[in-house]
């Protein structure tokens, strides 16, 4: 499996730079189990799923994880807090794995200052731009400090500084658990109106938590896809989620994952013939050939060429079908990536058979 197999042409003008207003005004491309793609609106979603289906969301909350400060020498330093290493229920501990960059090398033992609100000590240099750092506060104090000096970690293809609007819009309306360095962007389209319409339709919903970090957004740097290794990301599956999935299976409904992070969480939590509750860490790399144990359909955004996220979508929808749908989305001038439009993917009906 070659990286070049997951490429497509995308004009720069189709990369969404701003969120659409209102959230649910996004377009929705539907890739059905058979037949041609359908061009719909996100407001149509409740009519595209069935009563008894179960939508599984990711309720992680993006934190202002991008920090710009100074080293003791006065040189500029930038950190992106990626993964909380302390086991705290609120996810706001002192020790973090972070991506860092500076004009000169960042060394173990260095103390970094981020205004007068926050400082960090470098505990370990891991390599490839990663560091383990210890912040000078935790919990509520850390949350307040990040609100003062942290920046919303917009992805690099959004070519503008973050604004106050991004603090609201680069966050789902159901975000609950702080800890992500990037938004679970499939969830950004949901409004209370859409959620109420899903309820009225008889569609159940529940939520897992996966704190989005490098495992999701770092690029693949090897042509042989099998050699790519994902970074760990933390997740939590509650007993309620397990019960909802079991009840959905009992009534013959489908599990519709909202976002690639939800897919990775559910497929990682599969053990011994069932989804298991509890915390976990995953390096799962879902790519074509993956035998899906839990997920039956996927609501997602459009992803970067040559990315692990695109490979995951291809694993469920079929590489040729998905890339053909992407080409049609480009032709129809859909908006791409985090602030872009959405896609509802069903596996090819002739091929789909749940494993296990």
Is the predicted pLDDT of residue 73 greater than 90, yes or no? no
CA separation for the pair 114, 69 (Å, rounded): 4
Q: What DSSP string runs through 146-212?
A: HHHH-B----TTS-S---HHHHHHSS-TT--EEEESS--GGGGG--HHHHHHHHHHT-EEEEEEE--
Which pair of tokens denotes residue 120? 């960090």
Q: How confident is the model at residue 350, as a pLDDT?
A: 53
Is the predicted pLDDT of residue 95 greater than 60, yes or no? yes
The 10s digit of each residue's pLDDT in 135-171 is 999 999 999 999 999 999 999 999 999 999 999 999 9
Is the predicted pLDDT of residue 348 greater than 90, yes or no? no
The 10s digit of each residue's pLDDT in 316-340 is 999 999 999 999 999 999 999 999 9
The 10s digit of each residue's pLDDT in 289-301 is 999 999 999 999 9
- The DSSP code for 225 is G
Tell which CATH architecture fits domain 3-61+171-345: 3-Layer(aba) Sandwich (3.40)
Which CATH superfamily groups domain 65-151?
QueA-like (2.40.10.240)
Which pair of tokens denotes residue 19? 């969120």
CA separation for the pair 5, 308 (Å, rounded): 12
What is the phi/psi pair of residue 247, to 5°? -65, -40
Angle at 142 between CA 17 and CA 98, to 5 degrees: 60
Is the predicted pLDDT of residue 194 greater than 50, yes or no? yes
CA separation for the pair 305, 347 (Å, rounded): 20
User: Please, which pLDDT band fits residue 349 given cuts at 50, 70 and 90?
Assistant: confident
Whole-prediction pTM: 0.94
CA separation for the pair 97, 65 (Å, rounded): 11
Strand-pair category, 204-210 with 38-41: unpaired
Is the predicted pLDDT of residue 217 greater than 80, yes or no? no
| Domain extent listing, the chain | 3-61+171-345, 65-151
Q: Are 205 and 227 in contact (CB under 8 A)?
A: no
């Amino acid at each position: 499996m070659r990286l070049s197999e997951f490429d497509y042409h995308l004009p720069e003008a189709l990369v969404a730079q701003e969120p659409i207003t209102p959230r649910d005004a996004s377009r929705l491309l539907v890739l059905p189990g058979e037949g041609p793609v359908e061009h719909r609106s996100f407001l149509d979603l409740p009519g595209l799923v069935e009563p008894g289906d179960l939508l599984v969301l990711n309720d992680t909350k993006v934190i202002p994880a991008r920090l710009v400060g100074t080293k003791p020498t006065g040189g500029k330093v930038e950190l992106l807090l990626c993964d909380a290493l302390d086991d705290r229920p609120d996810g706001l501990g002192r020790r973090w794995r972070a991506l860092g960059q500076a004009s000169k090398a960042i060394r173990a033992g260095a103390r970094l200052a981020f205004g007068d609100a926050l400082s960090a000590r470098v505990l370990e240099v891991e390599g490839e731009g990663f560091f383990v750092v210890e912040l000078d506060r935790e919990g509520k104090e850390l949350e307040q400090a990040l609100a003062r000096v942290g920046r919303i970690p917009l992805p690099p293809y959004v070519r503008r500084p973050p604004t106050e609007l991004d603090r609201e819009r680069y966050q789902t309306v159901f975000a609950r658990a702080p800890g992500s360095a990037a938004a679970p962007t499939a969830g950004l389209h949901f409004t209370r109106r859409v959620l109420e319409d899903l309820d009225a339709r008889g569609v159940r919903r529940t939520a897992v938590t996966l704190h989005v970090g490098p495992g999701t957004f770092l690029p693949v740097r090897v042509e042989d896809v099998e050699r790519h290794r994902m970074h760990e990301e933390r997740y939590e599956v509650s007993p309620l989620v397990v019960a909802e999935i079991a009840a959905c299976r009992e009534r013959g409904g489908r599990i519709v994952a909202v976002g690639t992070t939800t897919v990775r969480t559910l497929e990682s939590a599969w053990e011994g013939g069932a989804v298991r509750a509890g915390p976990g860490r995953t390096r799962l790399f879902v790519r074509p050939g993956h035998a899906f144990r839990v997920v039956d359909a996927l609501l997602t955004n459009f992803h970067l060429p040559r990315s692990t996220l695109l490979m995951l979508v291809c694993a469920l929808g079929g590489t040729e079908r998905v890339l053909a749908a992407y080409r049609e989305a480009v032709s129809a001038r859909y908006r791409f990536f985090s602030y872009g439009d959405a896609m509802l993917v069903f596996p090819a009906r002739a091929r789909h058979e749940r494993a296990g």
